Chain A
Amino acid sequence: RSQEQTASASPLLRALLETLIYCRHQVLRIKTKNEEEVKQLQLLESLEHLELDFWINPSAPALPVDVRIPAVSVQSVKAFLESQGIQYSILIEDLQDVLDKEKQDMVESAQRQRSTSSFDFGAYHTLDDINAELDNLASEYSFVEKIQIGESYEKRPLYVLKFSTRGSKRPAIWLDAGIHSREWVTQASAMWIANKIASDYGTDESITSLLNKMDLFLLPVANPDGFVYTHTSNRMWRKTRSKIPGSICVGVDPNRNWDAGFGGPGASNNPCSESYHGPSANSEVEVKSVVDFIKNHGNFKAFLTLHSYSQLLMYPYGYKCTRPDDYAELESLGRAAASSIRSLYGTTFQVGTICKTIYQASGGSIDWSYDNGIKYSFAFELRDTGRYGFLLPANQILPAAKETWLGLKKIMEHVRDKSS
């Protein structure tokens, strides 16, 4: 009868019925003492309207009989058994509970399998290892795709993970890390965040509703040449590795190279400087690739970027010290995000515009994104406040990633709600 009901129901109702089909069904174990009792159970078995499902059929007195009883029949079957003096015990109180738990166990086990397979999210990795894990994530999850948006100066691919559950050019969120290569906690956190989003889609309400409405694009290593250089030669390298005509010095500060107040205060025109803005806006292919990608897409609603260190959560502007038009909303959202971050381990992030909080700096990425219509533009400076600085111990990667994720999630949820 329940199958008939299910078939004739609307799709929504059917889905509901199918998931709850064993709700309050009980499984009894019946211990028969003699042939007479076995015959009684066989009589019970013949009563089709009860829809009893014998897992072990009544056959001989020595063998237990296990039977699943639909909720509606439980009381009457028990009454019958008791009136016949037939002993029974309850194997399963509510079958649905057991099935739900089993499903959850399977999901968790699959996750554990994946995470123990090789990539340790609590350690620092080389570029090659990171790229291999990007492939791994893309192959593991149908809604995750690795795309290449360009090449670095030294011809390394710029890989972005695209999280998209359906549709095309849906409203999207941009997240990047490692634009300054020495800020190692950012690339590491981005990898943890990628894995978190991928594995929690379908189980976490917030991530699920977010990806059901929007796409997410994550660039974990925005400056791969610099990153490799920090591994092979100079751990403190910040800039790109581009050759500068007429100079012995190498590299441009990629976060002074965007077309937002380019060349203004807070950037240097000296090629040997760590904050050298470059010969012109977007001269760095690492920057241009992102600019072109975002412009061509045309539907980004948020631009989020990770830096370290200082524990700050900032919004535009950096190139000028005046407030953006959306100051009130961005300040409020920033505070909410900082509050979420603090809720986990007590880590405090200061909130404010770049210019007031850290320093005036021109040519920055979130100023460009904001001036190009992407309202929700935020830059994070992650742990710590100077004790270890760029050399954050690996045992702080997971705490940093987890707390940062809460802040990002708060912003993304707001963007999701405003975009629908």
Chain B
Amino acid sequence: RAMELPPGRFPAARAAAVAVAYLRYLRGGPGSGLQLRELRRARRQDIDDVGHKYYLELELEDVLDKDRTVNCTAEVLYHLGSKTSAPDVQVTVQGELRSTEEADKEFYNRIRSLEKELVAENIPDSHGNVPPELEPIHLLAWVASGYVIWQNSTENTKFHLAQVKHVKQVKRSDEDLQFDFVVLLHEMVSQEVLPWEVTLLWHPQRGARVPQSRAAGAGS
């Protein structure tokens, strides 16, 4: 009883954005970032007393290697009437993503060996520039905001990371890298740009974790 949806219209596009955000959180890192190249197909199923479930077929590309694409299927379930529950997302990636083991290790070692903790702001800057040495930080912000976007999406929202307002590295006694971000999330439906404080823990083998995040105070 799943209904076919036109991929060019917003309901399918919003669900796809959630799937991509989730995937960025799961699989992203300082050496790779996935973005949606094409939403191939979308279907929706209305499940009584549960919610709306979207079935998606996506083609994704690696922003650092545009010629490389990967197909994936995703299921996004928005829970009925719930404002506090994140959508359930399942993603299956067909084929292999590019291995970033070398780049990840190199980044990890570079940051661990910094004498002063890394601090940066406005990534990208007003003109869209990202200094090459900050691109991995930009991609980790995608991971962090991927989590926040997944957790806070509904059928009436579509979020994108607009800018990293501020990032501060926090040195830890364990093996994780910690970055405290203030990110600006652009919500397409309301057109609001919302600041969020997000803490990201990342390790080359263990991947990413977001121990805390919250909407920051009202913007300027």
Contact = CB atoms under 8 A, between A and B. Distances in A.
Q: Taking each of A238, A275, A386, which has the highest tally of chain B beta carbons within 10 Å of its own beta carbon?
A: A386
Contacts of A396: 128
A275 B191 contact: yes
Contacts of A393: 124, 127-129
B220 interface: yes
A307 B219 CA distance: 23
A387 B62 CA distance: 11
Interface string A370-404: 00000000000000011111111110100000000
Given A351-B8, A356-B9, A357-B9, A274 B191 contact: yes
Interface in B180-220: 184, 186, 188-193, 219-220
A236 B124 CA distance: 12
Given A233-B220, A234-B220, A274 B192 contact: yes
Contacts of A263: none
Contact of A359 (B17, B189, B193): B189
B36 interface: yes
A238 B188 CA distance: 12
A389 B10 contact: no
B184 A236 contact: yes
Given A253-B191, A274-B193, A385-B36, A391 B128 contact: yes
Contact of A357 (B10, B35, B63, B190): B10
Interface in A260-311: 268, 273-275, 310
B8 A273 contact: no
Interface in A327-370: 348, 350-352, 356-359
Nearest to B192: A274
Nearest to B220: A234
Given A274-B193, A275-B190, A357-B9, A386 B126 contact: no
B153 interface: no
Contact of B126 (A348, A358, A391): A391
A119 interface: no
A392 B128 contact: yes
Given A392-B128, A394-B128, A387 B35 contact: yes
B127 to A, nearest CB: 5
A51 B75 CA distance: 84
Nearest to A230: B126
B163 A391 contact: yes
Interface of A: 123-124, 230-231, 233-236, 238, 253, 268, 273-275, 310, 348, 350-352, 356-359, 385-394, 396
Interface of B: 8-10, 17, 35-36, 38, 63, 124-129, 160-163, 184, 186, 188-193, 219-220
Give the 7 A-B residue pairs with the shortest CB-CB distance, closest first. A393-B128, A386-B160, A350-B8, A274-B191, A236-B193, A391-B128, A391-B124
